[in-house]
Structure 1
Amino acid sequence: MTATLAASALDRVAHSVAARAADLDEQRSDVRIDLADLGRAGLLDLELCDIVRVVDEVSVQSLAVGFSTWAHHMTIRYLRAASEGEFGEQIGALAAAERIGVTAMAAGLKQVAGLGQVPVTGAADGADLVISGPIRWASNVFPDALIVLPVRVGERTLVVTVDAGADGVTVNPAPSLTALGATASTSLQLDRVRVSPHQVLAPNLDAFVAGIRPAFLLLQTAFCAGVTRAAVASATQAHTGPLARFGAELDDAVTRATDVRSRLYRWAADPDGATIAQLIRLRLDAAGLAVDVTRLELSLTGGAGYTLGSATNRRFRETAFLPVQSPSEGQLRWELTRYE
C-alpha cells in the first residue's frame, strides 16, 4: 500500500466533495466521481492510519462519500489479505477507481458471530465453483464493479470475488434510500455463477474475518467521526442568542467526540493494541454519538435545519442509517455480550 498521505491532495478532494454534497444527496450525481478523484490523488490504497484520515475527512463533507470510500477501500484490503493468488492488476484498477469495489461481507460477519449461515452456496464443477443465492445488501453496486463475498461449499465457507456483470448475476433495482441513494446500494441474486480458482481469496471465512475485522470496524468508526465533527462545528456556531441553552449537551458532545477520535487514531496506528471488544465498543460509541449530535444540531438550527437541501438536514438523514448499517447496532450489542 502507498506509504504516505498527501495532505494537500486530500484537502483538494474534500473541497470537491463539499461542492458536490447536495447533488449527491438529491441523486443528481453518484459517488463514482468522488471515488475517481480519490483514486487520481492516490488516496484509496493507503496504510490503515492514513485511510482512516481520508474517510474521516471526506465524511465531514458527505457521509455518502465516506461510506462508499470505506466499502471501496475494504475491497482493496480484502484482495491484499488473500491467502492465494495474485491480484495486483485488480488492486491497481481499484486503487485508481477504474473499477469500483463492493464489500458484500455482511452475511459472512453474521455467520462468524453465530447469527446465521451465509446464504450463497456453491458446489464444485471441475476446477471451478458454481454458486447461487442472494446478496441481501451491498453498496457501490455499479456496472463492472468487483464484488467480494462469502460462499458456503459443503462444510467450508470461502471468500471469493465475482464481477457485477458476470453471467448469472442479477442486480435488483435500487430502492429509494434516505440520503444515501448516490451509493448504489441494493440487493443481488446469483444464479449458477461460475467462480474460477483464481477468484478465491481465502479458503476459511473465520480466519479471513479475523484478519480484516479491525480495519473494517475502525474505518466504519472513521465515517461516523467525520460526520460528527461537521455536526459539532455547526451546532457550536448555532449556539448563540436566545437558543444558547444547550451548553451542557454541547460540552458533552465535544467530550465524547474527542474521546472517540482519540481511540480511533490510537488504534488505527496500532490495531493490535485493541481487543475486538474495544473496537466493537468504539464503533457503537461513534455511531451513537453521530446520531445524538446531528439531533442536537437540528435542535439548535431550528427551521433552517429542517429544510431539505440544508447540510444540517442532510447529516440528520445520513446518520439515521448508522444503527442499521451492517454490522447493525443490535448485532454489535449482541456480540459485546460474548466479551463483556
Structure 2
Amino acid sequence: MSTPVHLVHTALSDLTAVVAERAEALDTGALDVRADLARFGSADFFEPALRDDGLPELVSMIEHTAAASLAVGFSLWAHTMAVTYLAHAPAAAREGRLDELLSGSRAGVTAMAAGLKQVAGLGPVPLVADGTPDDLRINGPIHWASNVFQDSLIVLPARRPDGATLVAVVDANAPGITANPPPDLMALGATASTSLHLDDVQVRPEQVLTTDLASFVSTIRPTFLLLQTAFCVGVAAAALEGAGRAGGALAGQFSSELTEVSSELRRLRESLFTLAGRSRSAGVAEVIRLRLDGATTALAATRLESTLAGGAGYATRSAANRRFREAAFLPIQSPSEGQLRWELSRYV
C-alpha cells in the first residue's frame, strides 16, 4: 500500500506527525483544526487545487492526514473544496479571498451538499436568493457545514424564485448569518461542524462564483468525491495497520477477514490514484462507486481493528476506538450512503 514516491515528501510526513500528536486532543475537543489548516497552508499544500494536474497530490495529502486523524483529514477536504470552488471563480470573487484560503489563515467551508442534491434530482436547494443582481439577498438554512469558525469563508448554492441558480461566497460573520451552537459530535467535534441560518444576507455581484449550478457541480463533483474517498482510504489504512499489530491466540481467527479487507483497500487505493490522474475523463458512476466502496471498506477495517483490539479498543482514549467512531460518520457524510446508492442506481 505504498504511495507513489513523488506524492509523499518530508513536509507531508512532518505535518502528519504533528497531526498524530494532536489526534487525542482533537478527539476530546481540547483543540480544533484551525492550527492544522494554517500549517498545511504555510507549506503550500493547497496550491495543487489551482492546477489541472494537482488532484493526486491533494488525494495524497488528505489520505495520509486522515490516517493520523480523520477530523483533520475531513477538515482539509472541506477547506480544499473551498479553494477549488474559488479557483474556478471569476477574478472578482477570487480577489483577496483565494490567497487567504491558500495560506490557511482563514478556514474554507463547503456548504454545497444541497447543491449536489438538487442537481441529482433529490430536492431543491433551501437557500433562496431574491432581489436585483446589485442587491441580492439570500434567506434560508444550511443544514450542515464544517470549519464554521467566526472568520471562515462559506461557499454556498442558492436558487432564485424563478428557478435560476447561483453559487456565492460569503463571510461566516456577515450580518444575517447565524451559526447554531455546534452539537456534541462523536469524534469530529474539532471540525466546528454545525447548521446555519441566513436571514436577508446581502451578496454583491463580485461574490457570485457562477449562475449555473448544474455546470458548476459537474465541474467540481469528481474532485469532491475523490477527495472524500481519500479520507476513507486513509482511516481504513490506519485501522488495518492497527489490526495487523494485534496478537494473541485468537488473532489468527480473523486472518481471512484481514486479508480480504486489505486486498479491497489496495484495489480502492489504486483506483483512487488512477481516477485522480484522469478525473476530467472519469465516468460519474465509477467515481460514485469508488466513494461508496471507500466508506464501506473504512467501516469494515475499523470494525476489524476494534474486534482485534478487544477490551483495549473499547477505551475511548485508544486510537482503535477513535477510528471506529470516526468511521461511523462516513455513511451519513453528504452525499450519504443512501444518496450514493440512489445516484448509482440510475447508471445500472
Please, what TM-score do these two structures have when normalized by structure 2?
0.95
Matched residue type, 1:109: L
Q: Secondary structure at the residue paired with 2:245?
A: helix
Shift of 1:209: 0.1
- The aligned residue for residue 263 of structure 1 is 271
Is the CA contact (8 Å cut-off) linking 2:93 and 2:169 kept in structure 1? Answer: no
Q: Secondary structure at the residue paired with 2:216?
A: helix
Is the CA contact (8 Å cut-off) linking 1:55 and 1:70 kept in structure 2? Answer: yes
* Aligned counterpart for 2:324 among listed residues 300, 316, 329: 316
Aligned positions of 1:175-254 closer than 5 A: 175-254=183-262
Is the CA contact (8 Å cut-off) linking 1:133 and 1:191 kept in structure 2? Answer: yes
Shift of 1:272: 2.8
Give the superposed CA RMSD: 1.3
Matched residue type, 1:40: S
Is the CA contact (8 Å cut-off) linking 1:217 and 1:279 kept in structure 2? Answer: yes
d(CA) in 1 for partners of 2:200, 2:169: 14
Q: Would you say how many aligned residue pairs link Structure 1 and Structure 2?
A: 337
Shift of 1:241: 3.1
Q: Secondary structure at the residue paired with 1:167?
A: coil
Aligned positions of 1:272-291 closer than 5 A: 272-291=280-299
Q: Secondary structure at the residue paired with 1:149?
A: strand
Matched residue type, 1:174: P
- The aligned residue for residue 105 of structure 1 is 112
* Aligned counterpart for 2:86 among listed residues 51, 75, 79: 79
- The aligned residue for residue 116 of structure 1 is 123
d(CA) in 2 for partners of 1:50, 1:247: 33
Matched residue type, 1:193: V
Shift of 1:294: 0.3
Moved more, 232-241 or 303-312: 232-241
CA gap 1:254/1:33 in 2 versus in 1, 3 angstroms: same
d(CA) in 1 for partners of 2:176, 2:124: 22
- The aligned residue for residue 36 of structure 1 is 38
Matched residue type, 2:65: V
Unaligned runs of 5+ in 1: none
Unaligned runs of 5+ in 2: 1-5, 49-53
- The aligned residue for residue 7 of structure 1 is 9
Is the CA contact (8 Å cut-off) linking 2:306 and 2:324 kept in structure 1? Answer: yes
Shift of 1:42: 1.1
Q: Secondary structure at the residue paired with 1:238?
A: coil
Is the CA contact (8 Å cut-off) linking 1:45 and 1:51 kept in structure 2? Answer: no
d(CA) in 2 for partners of 1:101, 1:296: 34
Moved more, 191-200 or 234-243: 234-243
Shift of 1:122: 1.1
